[in-house]
């Protein structure tokens, strides 16, 4: 039999300790026994135990269990995740209830039946394993969050336009106000949302982003509001929606300007009532979120054309942050270039490269229809492909040269490059409205998203 698990048994009765060890050693790899409860702190500091069996009475005439509760508190103070099973010869229901309330996992009576004690410890062991798994997951999640946020520790820029953005972030972050972040694709709307969250009172809670523009009407409710088992064909279990998952933290809704009128009504109802009802359920659930939204569309124009509800717009943009396109803050291009060079030379284990004056001039004069995201992909590509120590203009492949996107000539027979140029022209023609651009190109919005990602636009 494959034995695993570490047990610690604390009891002042040596016969109890001996018999318990004899029984449990057959089933668990390590069984420590201790007669003196005063050794508990040092034992817990030197080793982690999956389950601790703790006697409740250590004085000869004691039957109240007071000592056991005192040591239980000390164990949990040392290790809040400890799994403790209390054991005593003087048990009753009232004492058992108190033990659980004080933080014990279970309660065992002496003299015990071997099968029953083994079952109790087995259940406690499973709970211990679950706690350890949760701790590991939380640790990994925290590390992943730190890794993600490390990319956004600073939104790079010294231009007047970016200084105004920084000032707005600082002012709004400390509040719980809803924020609408407006800017072209690739300007860094999610970075701003993360910066607001990171400086807010909710910084220790979850930050959850959802691209609502890519959700179909059929998926919108199930993804955002959740569902119960049997609500629809594939609903095989209960599932919380994004609003519930983000409760207590920050929910970031990207591409909100592309919501249909029907979905706008549903979103408005949730924001007004501060509660969601899962699909297939009747009982609403309270939510507590800080809402951040983003769009690349002119919201006032959509409102005047009655394509976006005025009451919803008022809900989502208590404060509006306008992000400038890269072409309007060209003085930031050298800083961004240096940042991405350091990032990708480190990522791909390449020597740091210098940028020639001519190459920097080319970067600074380009219109950057894909904004910072396009610059990032350009630098990543050149770090991968370049063998020289100094980057020259010929190594910087900027597909549309220095022309604005509306004047891009389609003069290539490379299919990928032609597709990229067509996408740039379509997005430019429709002022960044991806729904219209996708329709013009004859593809779905989701397909357009995949191509934007593919070409770094």
DSSP state letters, 68-120 = HHHHHHHHHHH-TT--EEEEESS--HHHHHHHHHTT-SEEEESSPPHHHHHHH
Last residue of a domain, one of 297, 324, 351: 324
Q: What is the distance between the terminal CA atoms of the chain, rounded to a whole angstrom?
A: 58
Final residue belonging to a domain, choices 278, 297, 324 = 324
**What pLDDT does residue 154 have?**
62
**Both 225 and 340 in a single domain?**
no
Q: Do residue 16 and residue 128 come from a single domain?
A: yes
State the pLDDT at residue 431.
63
What is the per-residue pLDDT for 53? 92
Q: What pLDDT was estimated at residue 403?
A: 40
Could you tell me which residues come within 8 angstroms of residue 374 by beta carbon, excluding any fewer than 6 positions away? 186, 326, 368, 456, 457
CATH of the domain at 353: 1.10.8.60
112, 169: one domain: no
Distance (Å, whole) CA 336 – CA 338: 5
Paired strand residues for 425: none
Burial of 321 (0-12, 13-18, 19+ CB in 10 A): buried
Same-domain status, 163 and 274: yes
- Smallest CA-to-CA distance from 290 within 247, 258, 333 is with 247
Tell me: do 84 and 195 sit in the same domain. Answer: no
Q: Which of 300, 324, 348 is the last residue of a domain?
A: 324
Helices 434-441 & 415-429, crossing angle to 10 degrees? Answer: 130
| Residue 255 lies inside a defined structural domain of this protein | yes
Q: Helix, strand, or coil here: 39?
A: helix
Q: Could you tell me if residue 311 is inside a domain? A: yes
* Per-residue pLDDT at 426: 81
Q: Where are the alpha helices (DSSP H) in 226-281?
A: 242-245, 261-273
Residues 165 and 291 placed together within one structural domain of the fold? yes
CB of 355 closer than 8 Å to CB of 341: yes
For residues 417 and 318, membership in a common domain is answered with: no
Kindly give the confidence (pLDDT) of every residue in the chain, 457 residues in length, as a single tens digit, with 9 standing for 90 and above. Answer: 457 889 999 988 888 899 889 999 999 999 999 988 889 888 988 888 999 999 887 765 555 667 788 888 889 888 888 999 988 776 666 777 787 888 888 888 888 888 888 999 999 998 888 888 887 777 766 666 655 554 445 688 999 999 999 999 999 999 999 999 999 989 999 999 999 999 999 998 999 999 988 888 878 989 999 998 888 888 888 889 999 999 999 999 999 988 888 999 999 999 999 999 998 988 999 999 999 999 988 888 787 778 889 999 999 999 999 999 999 999 999 999 999 999 999 999 999 889 999 999 999 989 998 899 999 999 999 999 888 889 988 888 886 544 444 444 555 556 777 788 888 878 877 767 778 888 878 888 778 877 887 777 7
CB hemisphere CA count around 344 (13 angstroms): 19
Residue 262: count other Cβ atoms within 10 Å of its Cβ: 10
Q: Is 61 exposed, middle or buried, given 0-12, 13-18 or 19+ CB atoms closer than 10 A?
A: exposed
**Does one domain contain both 312 and 298?**
yes
Query: What's the token pair of residue 98?
Result: 């108190």
Q: Which 3 state secondary structure label does DSSP give 44?
A: helix
Cβ atoms of residues 328 and 369 within 8 Å: no
Q: Could you count the other beta carbons within 10 Å of the beta carbon of residue 263?
A: 19
Q: Give the Cα separation of 117 and 110 in Å (integer).
A: 10
Q: Are 367 and 304 part of one and the same domain?
A: no
Q: Is residue 146 part of a domain?
A: no
CATH number at 221 reads 3.40.50.300
Task: For residue 66, give the CATH number of its domain.
Answer: 3.40.50.2300
Residues ≥6 apart with Cβ < 8 Å to 266:
220, 221
pLDDT at 407: 46
Whole-number Å distance between alpha carbons of 150 and 161: 23
The conformational region for residue 349 under phi > 0 = left, psi -120 to 50 = alpha, else beta, is left
Q: What is the largest CA-CA distance in the chain?
A: 97
Give the DSSP per-residue string, 378-400. HHHHHHHH--SSEE-GGG---TT
Cis peptide before 232 (omega within 30 of 0): no
* pLDDT for the residue numbered 358: 92
CA separation for the pair 68, 31 (Å, rounded)? 20
Q: How many domains does the chain have?
A: 3
Nearest to 63 by CA among 84, 88, 93: 88
Q: Residue 8 has what DSSP assignment?
A: E
What pLDDT is attached to residue 151? 44
Q: Alpha-carbon distance 128 to 7, whole Å?
A: 11
What is the residue range of 84's domain? Answer: 6-134
Listed residue (395, 442, 394, 401) closest to 422, CA to CA: 442
CA separation for the pair 296, 257 (Å, rounded): 8
């Amino acid at each position: 039999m494959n034995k695993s698990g570490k047990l610690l048994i604390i009891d002042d009765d040596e016969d109890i300790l001996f018999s318990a060890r004899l029984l449990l050693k057959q089933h668990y790899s390590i069984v420590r026994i201790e007669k003196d409860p005063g050794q508990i702190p040092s034992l817990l500091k030197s080793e982690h135990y999956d389950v601790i069996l703790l006697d409740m009475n250590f004085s000869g005439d004691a039957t109240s269990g007071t000592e056991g509760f005192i040591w239980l508190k000390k164990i949990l103070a040392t290790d809040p995740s400890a799994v403790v099973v209390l054991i005593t010869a003087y048990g009753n229901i009232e004492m058992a209830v108190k033990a659980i309330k004080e933080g014990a996992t279970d309660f065992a009576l002496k003299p015990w039946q071997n099968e029953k004690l083994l079952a109790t410890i087995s259940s406690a062991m499973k709970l211990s394993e679950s706690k350890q798994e949760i701790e590991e997951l939380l640790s990994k999640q925290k590390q992943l969050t730190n890794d993600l946020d490390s990319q956004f520790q600073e939104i790079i820029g010294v231009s007047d336009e970016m200084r105004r953005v920084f000032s707005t972030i600082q002012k709004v972050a400390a509040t719980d106000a809803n924020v609408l972040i407006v800017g072209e694709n690739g300007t860094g709307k999610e970075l701003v949302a993360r910066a607001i969250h990171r400086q807010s009172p909710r910084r220790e809670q979850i930050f959850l982003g959802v691209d609502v523009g890519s959700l179909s009407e059929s998926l919108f409710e199930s993804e955002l509001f959740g569902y119960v088992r049997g609500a629809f064909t594939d609903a095989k279990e209960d599932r919380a929606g994004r609003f519930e998952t983000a409760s207590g933290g920050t929910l970031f809704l990207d591409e909100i300007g592309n919501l249909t009128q029907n979905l706008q009504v549903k979103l408005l109802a949730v924001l007004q009532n501060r509660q969601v009802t899962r699909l297939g359920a009747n009982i609403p659930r309270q939510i507590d979120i800080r809402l951040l939204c983003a769009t690349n569309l002119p919201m006032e124009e959509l409102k005047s054309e009655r394509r976006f509800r005025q009451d919803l717009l008022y809900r989502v943009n208590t404060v509006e942050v306008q992000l400038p396109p890269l072409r309007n803050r060209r003085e930031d291009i050298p800083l961004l270039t240096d940042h991405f060079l350091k990032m990708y030379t480190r990522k791909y284990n390449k020597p740091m490269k210098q940028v020639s004056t001519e190459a920097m001039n080319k970067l600074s004069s380009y219109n950057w229809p894909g904004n910072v995201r396009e610059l990032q992909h350009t630098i990543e590509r050149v770090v991968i492909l370049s063998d020289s120590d100094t980057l020259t203009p010929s190594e910087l492949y900027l597909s549309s040269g220095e022309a604005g996107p509306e004047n891009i000539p389609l003069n290539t027979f490379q299919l990928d490059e032609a597709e990229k140029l067509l996408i740039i022209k379509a997005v430019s023609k429709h002022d960044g409205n991806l729904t219209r651009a996708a329709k013009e190109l004859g593809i779905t919005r989701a397909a357009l998203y995949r191509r934007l990602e593919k070409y770094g636009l």
